[in-house]
Amino acid sequence: MALRPIVRALVVPVLGLSLSGLASHPAEASGEAPASHQLVNVNQATSAELARLPRVGTKLADRIVAHRKEHGPFKRIEDLMEVKGVGEKFFSTLKPYLTVSGPTTLAEKVSSKGSRGTSSKTKKSGASATKKAKA
């Protein structure tokens, strides 16, 4: 019985560390190929290539290209946060897919499915349930 507190003290931190490692690499956590094989060079990518990034549309991709033309190449990937529409939280989603050197290897649009809460069906059914409860 004296071992139980010791085991609990060792298992919980180790389990927490292994789970936090998965959360920091969304591509690996979702079973996709590692992000190191799916990169977009923000200094060379076209608007269409940038639009393959999760939650990046044509307007934001065009803004990134325009910023690059106006201010020159990005020195580090964090400089992407200077572009309107790219904040810290959004940047953390993109970070595994970004580089400032080498070729762009991301060939297909990365799905952002599941990254923003519940689906619209869940929201609708929750709203109708609230209306029924009020009636």
Give the model confidence (pLDDT) of 21-79 as tens digits.
545 444 444 444 444 479 999 999 999 999 999 999 999 999 999 999 999 999 999 99
Q: Which domain holds residue 73?
A: 45-107
| The pTM of the whole model exceeds 0.85 | no
- Residue 60 inside a domain? The answer is yes
**Which of these, 46, 68, 67, lies nearest to 58 by C-alpha position?**
46
- Residue 18 inside a domain? The answer is no
Region 5-30: what's the mean pLDDT? 54
Beta bridge partners of 41: 99
- Residue 52 inside a domain? The answer is yes
- Is the confidence at residue 133, as pLDDT, over 70? no
| Total count of domains within the chain | 1
Q: How many residues does the chain have?
A: 135
Tell me how many degrees the CA angle 57-59-61 measures, rounded to the nearest 5.
70
